[in-house]
Amino acid sequence: MPLVANSSLPTFTRLREEGDSVLDPARARQQDIREMHIGLLNMMPDAALEATERQFLRIVSESNQIAQFYIHLFTLPQLLRGEKAAAHIRQYYETFDAIKAEGLDALIITGANVTQPSLADEAFWEPLIEVIDWGYNNVTSILCSCLATHAVVQFRHQQKRKKLAEKCWGVFQHEVIDRSHPLVNDINTRFDVPHSRYNEITQQQFEEAGLRVLVASPNAGVHLAVSEDLFRIVYFQGHPEYDINSLLKEYKREVLLFIDDKRDSYPPFPDNYFSQQVQAILLEHKSRLVTAKARKEPLPIFPEELIQSYLHNTWHDTGEAMINNWIGRVYQTTNSDRKKCFMDGIDPDDPLGIRYTRSD
C-alpha cells in the first residue's frame, strides 16, 4: 500500500531509497483509489524522533489493503526539544489545531520518555489527554503504543501502570489468546514481539477495565488489547514497529551511559535477542572497554556494524499483518468524510458488528 509524499519530509526520501512504495502527489491523483488520512502523534525524544517516523510509516505502507496513505505528523509543544529536532518539527509537522480542522481516519500515538513518578505529573499529560479525547470522538480508531497505552488506560479506566521489578527488555514469544477477533485474523498464533519498558498494565488490570486482551506472553505480559467496543482504541505494550537493530541501538545507548558514569553497572543483554556469537563479541568488547576505562586509555569502538549482520528479525511479518488487519477494518468502517468517525449505519459501540454476537 503506497504512502503519498504529501510533504518534503526527509523520511519519505529515506523510505523510497530503502525500497518502500512512496508516490508523488501528482501520480497519486491519477489513481482512482480511496485515500486514507492517518495521524501520527510522535512524542519520542529527539534521538528517536525520525527513526520512529520511519518505523511507523514503513509498517503502515507495507500493509496490503487498497488505499493511499497520507500521514499527518504532529507532536506536543510541551515536550522539550533541541534546536535540530525543533527545526525538523517546524518544517515537516502539522499543528494539532490544523489536524482537528481537517480530520483523520485513524490515529497512531507513540510512546514517550518520562521524567516524573506519575504520568499525570508529566508536562505532556493534559495535552495528550486532549488529543485522546478528541481522537475518540472524531477518529475511527486510535492505535496506542507502549506509554500511550498506559496513559489511555489510566485516563479512561483509572488503572495505573505498575513498576516492574526489572526492565522488560528483549524479544519475547507471545500467543493469541482470543483467536476470534478480526485484528488477529490469519496471523501466526505464536509469534515474537520486542518489548522495552519499566512498567506494565497487567492482564488483570486490562480485564478489570472491561478491555479485551487478544495477545499475551507468559514472560512479557499483554501485548495487544482492545477497548470495550472491540475496535475504537487498540492497545500495544510491545513494539512490532521496531527495526531489526532497534534493540541493538538501545543496548549501545546503555553502554554509552555506563561510559559516561550515568549508570552504575554495565548493561545486561536484552532477552532472546543476541545470538551466542553476538554475545561473545559483546563480552569481548565489554572486557576491553572496562579495562580501558579503568586505565583512562582510549576506549574501543562499539562493534555495531560487525553485529548487524548477525541479528534476526522474528517479529516484523506478524506485526505487519496486525497493522494490515487494523487498517483494513478502518477502511471498511470509516466515513468518506474524514471529519466523521464512521460510515452511516455503523454502531459506534460495536463498529465491527461482533460485540453482541460473541458467546462470552
Question: Catalytic amino acids?
Answer: 146, 239, 241
List of long-range contacts for 265-269, beta carbons under 8 Å, 24+ apart:
266/290, 269/170
Under a CB-based contact definition with an 8 Å cutoff, are residues 140 and 342 in contact?
Answer: yes
What is the C-alpha to C-alpha distance for residues 74 and 337, in angstroms, rounded to an integer? Answer: 21
The 3-state DSSP class for residue 35 equals strand
The backbone torsions φ and ψ at residue 39, rounded to the nearest 5 degrees and listed phi first, read -85, 145
Q: What's the length of the chain?
A: 360
Which 3 state secondary structure label does DSSP give 360? coil
- Strand, coil or helix: 172: strand
Show the DSSP H helices in the chain as ranges: 10-17, 25-30, 46-61, 83-92, 96-102, 125-138, 147-157, 203-208, 246-259, 276-294, 304-308, 316-333
Contacts of residue 307, defined as CB under 8 A and 6 or more positions apart, other chains included, come to 248, 274, 278, 281, 282
Q: Which amino acid is at 43?
A: M
For residue 171, what are the β-bridge partners? 194
Residues 6+ apart with CB under 8 A from 324: 62, 63, 64, 65
CA–CA dist 149, 209 (Å, integer): 13
